[in-house]
Amino acid sequence: MSSSGAAAGRGDRTEQPPMRDALIAAAFRLFTERGYEQTTVDDIVALAGVGRRSFFRYFPTKEDVVFPDHERCLADMTAFLAASPDDAEPVTRVCDAARLVLRMYAENPSFSVQRYRLTKQVPGLRAYELSVVWHYERALARYLRERFAGHPDGSLRADVIAAAVVAAHNNTLRSWLRSPDRGDAEAALDHALAQVREAFGTVAIPPSRALPEDVVVVVSRRDAPLWRVVRELESARGHG
């Protein structure tokens, strides 16, 4: 879920406005030539040939131009989870959501690597990226909490599984970004997610159990013979 991999201009996605793409291209060119901190919004719009208002129409801050697709990617993942069939196994479903996110990020390797390197160099961007990751993790946890409602420790289990899926995804993504030509990112993610599924298995959601209306309590001496305890219990039930 690390946003170090999202890319602009995917062929199978809704085409982005040309002005938006021009701003992204101009920003990354300047970040490469001058450095992130030394580049201003005015520099970006001047190179792109547009006004400041056009920049802020698409990107609320300079950080957002570095992560132009994270909101759409998060929305896509959230919609995927919302469309889950009622009989979908929860752990499998969130693992599938992680594959969806990685696939989006991996469609433009050169852009992904460029952003990964930039993010490593700028502490402020790393902090921004952590906030992005948190939103992905919360989306997974919300889905799992709904599925685990009524399950013993359901909220805790949801948070732990969501964190594990995000960790598996980010470990795979960052390893791939360091050496994008040396392996299949999706195959590596499958391997990582297999460990998540092995750790948490298939989660059965038990039906809610109603407490009995009557509770019979039998008090007996610790050294009383078993037959006497049983007889006292049966007698108590008969008078219930």
Q: What is the mean pLDDT of residues 163-174?
A: 96
Query: Which residue, among 191, 33, 229, has the nearest Cα to 118 in the 3D structure?
Result: 33
Q: What is the mean pLDDT of residues 26-42?
A: 96
Domains of the chain as residue ranges with CATH: 18-200 (1.10.357.10)
What band does 217 get if pLDDT is binned at 50, 70 and 90?
very low
Measured in whole angstroms, how far is the alpha carbon of residue 21 from the centre of its chain?
26
Task: Tell me which DSSP letter residue 37 carries.
Answer: T
- Residue 116 in tokens: 């990964």
Angle (CA) 75-56-35 rounded to 5° is 95
What band does 238 get if pLDDT is binned at 50, 70 and 90?
low
- How high is the pLDDT of residue 156? 96
109 exposure class (CB count in 10 Å sphere: 0-12, 13-18, 19+): middle
- How high is the pLDDT of residue 124? 92
What band does 9 get if pLDDT is binned at 50, 70 and 90?
very low
